[in-house]
Amino acid sequence: MTWEEYYDKFYDWAESTQIKKLSSVEKYGSAEEVTEIMMEFAFDHEDIVNRMARKAIEQKIVFSAENIRDLTNFVDPSLQARLAIQSVGNFSRDDLELLDGFLDDDVLVKLYRSKGLKVLEMLDDGDYDNLPSVNMDEVMERAKQPTGFFSKLAMAFGIGAGIHQGLSTAGGKKNLKFRVGDHVRVRYRGQEGTIIDINGDMYMVSLADGSHVDSFYENQLERAW
């Protein structure tokens, strides 16, 4: 059976027939249609979605960034990553930014590097003296999302900036801007919380929902009220 025949009749069939007929389709069609059918099976048949992903990889089908994003949580992450890597040739920088938070960091690094973009060449390796040259306003704006690579990147830049600004001075103890109990806001992502401990130049903050604690440097925080 051709993909065209399968796709045209798909919604007329019972689910059992949809599954049975899929096995007879040798070559898949467009990425948009393939993604659509994968999503139809996503909630009850993850095994079929994964099988379709493997066949799409074998057939080197090029997916859009939106397709890759939409498959999040419905396909095995390793297969999603392979689909993204296979399709990266058609991705723009905006497409890569769209995928931030939907793919693992190491996969994003590979995608950015394959496009010759340096902004993702540093994760948490501590190499703050050799941070890539980027537009920090852009990084900080995009890092406002609660998860994703750019939140980590902004954190790293904040740490690097703190080191270079001399948060630990050779002449003595630094006068701290905040104290335990102060209500603060994380500059680059807008989350609010309360300082619960201070360890050297690091402030331990219990975020507003009370379910997460993270540490920040002074230049990463501002008073909330």
What percent of the chain has a predicted confidence (pLDDT) above 90?
Answer: 39
* pLDDT tens per residue, range 104-163: 888 888 898 888 876 544 344 444 344 444 444 554 555 444 445 555 555 544 444 443
Q: Quick one: how many helices (H) and strands (E) in the chain?
A: 10, 5
Report helix, strand or coil for 205. strand
**Which pLDDT belongs to residue 161?**
43
Decide which of 164 and 25 is more confident.
25
Contacts of residue 45, Cβ cutoff 8 Å, sequence gap at least 6: 19
Residue 205 one-letter amino acid: V
Strand duo 213-217 + 221-223: pairing: unpaired
**Which pLDDT belongs to residue 150?**
52
Measured distance CA(225)–CA(222) in Å, rounded: 9
